[in-house]
């Protein structure tokens, strides 16, 4: 087996426990992997400055895969290694369609979140998860009307996201959006959201892009995740590891399963594959 040289890690439900904490054992495993020469790469639906500070400040980070793969970000050089964004007209057509449903939505552009003011003000009725609600309130700039704002900017967007507490509606929209907008990747990372990216903005293709940039074969990559937006990287990485708390679809395609995020599952996998001499 090719030694792991690039370690891609989802955050929520994977690297972070259910309380959104980086446990001491997981933190130590990351430091040990970095010391062994492994590129540790946070791989998330968030933009870089939306990651928890404890992750942003890890001193050995060189790269991050952000916004579900819409950007591979060189942290030290403050530049994008690769991007895959949604054309403006496609984004506007999606938002026009979503206006017919009881949902709220936002977008990521220029590594930040933007949202219609009235939707942000009513977010508590649509986002039943406290942590996610705090992010919607603190990591989005309100504008009078998002579609009008995007027309003024006249540029592509990195991600669209909608929220609904109605699970039947969410599941129906997951299927319908994928059929109506085949140029987009449609996924979910929590029980109340749907995320839309360009079809080439996925974590798997982003890992492949970064591996090629670093001159590494895909066999030297490992990915650990739990949600549907981790599916592509679990499938494409040299070693794809599912958390015990992962979605059934992820458990079904993973090369192996580790313990849950509340049992240091990521640390166990890192120690097994990335840290010489660890059991």
Render pLDDT for 211-226 as a digit per residue (tens, 0 to 9). 999 999 999 999 999 9
**Domain finish residue from 176, 198, 220:** 198
Q: Tell me, what CATH number does 257's domain have?
A: 3.40.50.1000
**Are 130 and 49 members of one domain?**
no
Given a contact cutoff of 8 angstroms between Cβ atoms, the answer to whether 91 and 157 are in contact is yes
**Are 72 and 122 members of one domain?**
no
**Given its phi and psi angles, is residue 142 left (phi above 0), alpha (psi -120 to 50 degrees) or beta?**
beta
Render pLDDT for 119-145 as a digit per residue (tens, 0 to 9). 999 999 999 999 899 999 999 999 999
Render pLDDT for 168-179 as a digit per residue (tens, 0 to 9). 999 999 999 999
**Are 39 and 71 members of one domain?**
yes
Q: In whole angstroms, how far apart are CA 70 and each of 74, 80, 232?
A: 13, 10, 13
pTM: 0.84
**Are 188 and 261 members of one domain?**
no
**Are 253 and 116 members of one domain?**
no
Looking at residue 189, its pLDDT comes to 84
- Residue 1 resides in a domain: no
Residue, of 276 and 243, whose pLDDT is higher: 243
**Are 193 and 217 members of one domain?**
no
- Residue 279 resides in a domain: no
**Are 12 and 140 members of one domain?**
no
Q: Tell me, what CATH number does 191's domain have?
A: 3.30.1240.10
Count of domains forming the chain: 2
Looking at residue 278, its pLDDT comes to 59
**276, pLDDT greater than 90:** no
Mean pLDDT of the chain: 96
Residues 6+ apart with CB under 8 A from 143: 114, 115, 116, 117, 149
Residue, of 277 and 257, whose pLDDT is higher: 257
- Find the domain containing 11 and state its range: 6-83+201-274
Question: Hunting for tokens 């009881």 — which residue is that?
Answer: 102
**240, pLDDT greater than 90:** yes
**Are 127 and 99 members of one domain?**
yes
Q: Is 139 exposed, middle or buried (0-12, 13-18, 19+ CB in 10 A)?
A: middle
- Residue 238 resides in a domain: yes
**Are 50 and 185 members of one domain?**
no
**Domain finish residue from 175, 198, 221:** 198
């Amino acid at each position: 087996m090719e030694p792991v040289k690039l370690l891609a890690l989802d955050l929520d439900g994977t690297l972070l426990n259910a309380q959104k904490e980086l446990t001491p054992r997981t933190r130590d495993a990351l430091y040990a992997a970095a010391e062994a020469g492994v590129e540790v790469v946070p791989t998330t639906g968030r933009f870089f400055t939306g990651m928890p500070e404890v992750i942003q400040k890890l001193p050995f980070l060189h790269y991050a895969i952000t916004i579900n793969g819409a950007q591979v970000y060189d942290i030290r050089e403050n530049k994008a290694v690769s991007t895959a964004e949604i054309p403006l007209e496609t984004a506007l057509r999606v938002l026009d369609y979503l206006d017919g449903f009881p949902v709220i939505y936002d977008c990521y552009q220029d590594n930040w979140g933007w949202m219609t003011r009235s939707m942000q003000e009513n977010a508590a009725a649509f986002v039943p998860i406290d942590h996610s609600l705090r992010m919607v309130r603190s990591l989005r700039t309100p504008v009078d009307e998002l579609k009008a704002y995007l027309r003024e900017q006249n540029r592509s967007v990195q991600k669209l996201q909608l929220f609904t507490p109605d699970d039947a509606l969410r599941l129906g929209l997951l299927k319908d959006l994928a059929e109506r907008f085949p140029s987009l990747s449609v996924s979910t990372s929590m029980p109340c959201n749907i995320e839309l990216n360009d079809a080439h903005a996925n974590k798997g293709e982003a890992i492949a892009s970064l591996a090629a940039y670093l001159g590494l074969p895909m066999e030297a990559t490992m990915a650990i995740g739990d949600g549907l937006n981790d599916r592509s990287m679990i499938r494409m990485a040299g070693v794809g590891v599912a958390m015990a708390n992962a979605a059934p679809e992820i458990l079904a395609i993973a090369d192996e399963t580790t313990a849950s995020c509340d049992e240091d599952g990521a640390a166990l996998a890192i120690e097994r594959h990335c840290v010489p001499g660890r059991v």
